Structure 1
Amino acid sequence: MEPRSRSFYVLAAFFGLFLLFLYGPTITIAILSFQGPGGGLTFPMRGTSLHWFRDLFEQQAVGDIWGSFRRSFALGLMVMVTTVVVSVMGGLAFRKRFPGSGMVFYLIITSLVIPSILISLGVGLMFSQSGMTVHWATSGFGSQLTWTLPFGLLIMFAVFNRFDKSYEEAARDLGATPWQTLRHVVLPIIAPSLIGVALFGFTLSYDEFARTLLTAGSYNTLPLEIFGMTTNVTTPVLYALGTLTTVFSLIMIGVFLALAWLGARRRARAGSDAGDGLA
């Protein structure tokens, strides 16, 4: 076996440092969340226990942890569904050139380069000056869509640029209507990408802070609640909350990956059955 060059070890060390930089803070918080009952917010640890996780499920003197979690979860689902639907519609619309399509495209992605806090300020002012209530389910929902929709649309643009139109032509030759072609041909083929867009939409919304800061109204989402707790909570219960929210995010990612895997297996089985039928 040919020995590895020195550059391999240098790059491997650099990659290891990058992973440490990327996940080190999360791992540190996870470790500190297992402090004993007398533990503080820093090392060294004073024993190990699940005390702060149990404390998290009791009545807190400061904040509304579980209420903010429910709001973030509901908002994430709203943003996810809207992002998927609008992204698919936008991707289908941009398959053909239309007057002003270039300008519309740049307007769509412009919100990605505008500072998030300015988006939050603008949406909040628009709602308040229009006499509408600034609320996490209205103005917060709208401001988060300015963040998730461009990502979803860019994914769909890439997907449809590589989409083989012969599948649709074959469906039309067999007498399928446009809706049947979309439902039974196009959507099953792009299903993995739809799962990716849904994952983007949910996780970007669930973790979003800046675009929700001035648009959530009187009720905090979970990122806003955690930020507020950093100035009032001086126990590792804050770390326990951070650990649980990280685990929840990983579970959601795992669910979406499992859905993608199951969809791929179903399509492979369907293709195998069709091949056996032809044989």
Structure 2
Amino acid sequence: MGRQREPRAPGFWPLALFFALFVLFMYGPMLVIVVLSFQGPGGGLTFPIQGLSLHWFHKLAEGLGVVDIGAALRRSLGLGLVVMLCTVVLSVLAGLAFRKKLAGGNVLFYVVVASLIMPSIIVSLGIGLEFRLLDTAIKKTLELLGLQATLDDFGSSLGLYTSALGAHLTWTLPFGLLIMFAIFNRFNPAYEEAARDLGATPWQSFRHVVLPLIAPSVVGIGMFGFTLSWDEIARTSQAIGDVNTLPLELQGLTTTVTTPSIYALGTVTMVVSFLVMGLTVALARLLQRRQSGTAAR
């Protein structure tokens, strides 16, 4: 005789309905954009859909007016990868440093996480102003040094891998640092002590003991770094200079493009995000299995 199923609690179905509506609220708009992007040539920006085809993806590949979507995509991918690398390296190093008592460590921590509570557009404006002041100082210095040729060639220090990179790191680094704090708070230092007892140097202890144990979390920080950078608009808008990332181009196109090709662009950006998250989850699980296999041996 099978085990009798316990009756549902009185609040189960209302909470289940609320959760279903919440999921629909989050993912419904994305689903609508995906569906509308696969319309036929006669499709519009609203329902009902007019046929099914890849027509608007072909139009997207041909270009949307004067906007070079391919270049914007490459800029966003490049910036996202650099932000991911910087976030991982700086977060791990900061996590290791904060394991010890640091003079002024609390103040430094609050300075780092303060950018999370600042309005993003204010952060962007501040960084943009800072780099414009830097431009003025550089130009005056070049003028005083008599380097006229260099001054004529100098445009601006605002750029993808200068001001925009800094703006994105003000968003990704606090998340990475908070994750590393949580990881190292649960980390057992006995593993490192055992490695040192066996003659390992600090670098060998980190490489062969600490890093393999925290690797899944490091992969997660990398995913946060890339995805937060990939779709960032507000912190980028005033700090990127004379080029645009893909989200900024997409924002600008919403006022000029009146065909489902803009939905096709949204679908492509969404696929890239889910692809990165899928690869990250797969890599994290692979690292966890390797950890489990090593522990079993």
Q: TM-score, normalised by structure 1?
A: 0.95
Q: Is 1:90 paired with 2:114? A: no
User: Equivalent residue for 1:217?
Assistant: 241
User: Equivalent residue for 2:268?
Assistant: 244
Identify which of 34, 40, 45 aligns with 2:38. Answer: 34
Give 1:61 deviation, angstroms. 1.7
Give 1:269 deviation, angstroms. 2.7
Q: Deviations over 1:188-233 (max 9, x none)?
A: 1000110011000000001100000011111110100100111111
User: Equivalent residue for 1:269?
Assistant: 293
Instruction: Tell me the distance in 2 between the aligned counterparts of 1:9 and 1:269.
Output: 41
- Retained in 2: the 8 A contact 1:87–1:149? yes
Q: Which is further off, 95-104 or 185-194? A: 95-104
User: Equivalent residue for 1:125?
Assistant: 129
- Retained in 1: the 8 A contact 2:172–2:224? yes
Identify which of 57, 63, 67 aligns with 1:53. Answer: 57
Give 1:165 deviation, angstroms. 0.3
Give 1:267 deviation, angstroms. 2.3
Identify which of 16, 25, 36 aligns with 2:29. Answer: 25
Identify which of 105, 112, 118 aligns with 2:109. Answer: 105
Q: Deviations over 1:47-86 (max 9, x none)?
A: 2211111211113323121111100000001000000110
Q: Deviations over 1:127-184 (max 9, x none)?
A: 0111152112210000110000000001101111111000000000000001100111
Instruction: Tell me the distance in 1 between the aligned counterparts of 2:269 and 2:36.
Output: 15
Q: Is 1:190 paired with 2:183? A: no
Amino acid of the structure 1 residue aligned with 2:281: L
Amino acid of the structure 1 residue aligned with 2:207: R
Q: Is 1:43 paired with 2:67? A: no
Amino acid of the structure 1 residue aligned with 2:83: V
The alignment yields a C-alpha RMSD, in angstroms, of: 1.1
Q: Which is further off, 14-23 or 261-270? A: 261-270
Structure 1 unaligned blocks of 5 or more: none
- Retained in 2: the 8 A contact 1:148–1:201? yes
User: SS in structure 1 opposite 2:116?
Assistant: coil
User: Equivalent residue for 2:172?
Assistant: 148
Identify which of 235, 254, 263 aligns with 1:230. Answer: 254
User: Equivalent residue for 2:201?
Assistant: 177
Instruction: Tell me the distance in 2 between the aligned counterparts of 1:86 and 1:137.
Output: 16
Identify which of 146, 165, 168 aligns with 2:189. Answer: 165
Q: Percent identity?
A: 58
Structure 2 unaligned blocks of 5 or more: 136-155
Amino acid of the structure 1 residue aligned with 2:198: L
Q: Deviations over 1:245-271 (max 9, x none)?
A: 111111111111111122122223333
- Retained in 1: the 8 A contact 2:36–2:45? yes
Amino acid of the structure 2 residue aligned with 1:92: L
Q: TM-score, normalised by structure 2?
A: 0.90
- Retained in 2: the 8 A contact 1:136–1:212? no
User: SS in structure 2 opposite 1:217?
Assistant: coil
User: SS in structure 2 opposite 1:111?
Assistant: helix
- Retained in 2: the 8 A contact 1:62–1:229? no
Change (3 A) 1:40 1:62: farther
Paired residues in the alignment total 273
Instruction: Tell me the distance in 1 between the aligned counterparts of 2:127 and 2:121.
Output: 10
Instruction: Tell me the distance in 1 between the aligned counterparts of 2:38 and 2:222.
Output: 33
